[in-house]
Amino acid sequence: MTARLALLLTVALLAACGGVGTEKNRMEETLYHYAGAVRWGDVEQLLAFQDPEVLSEAPPERLTLERWRQWQVTGYRARGREPQPDGSIVQYAEIDLVNRHTQQGSVLLDRERWRYDEDARRWWLMSGLPDLDARSDP
Tens digits of residue pLDDT in 94-124: 999 999 999 999 999 999 999 999 999 999 9
CB 93 within 8 A of CB 76: yes
Tens digits of residue pLDDT in 14-31: 444 444 458 889 999 999
Domains of the chain by start residue, with CATH? 22-136 (3.10.450.50)
Tens digits of residue pLDDT in 65-100: 999 999 999 999 999 999 999 999 999 999 999 999
The conformation of residue 58, written as its DSSP 8-state character, comes to: S
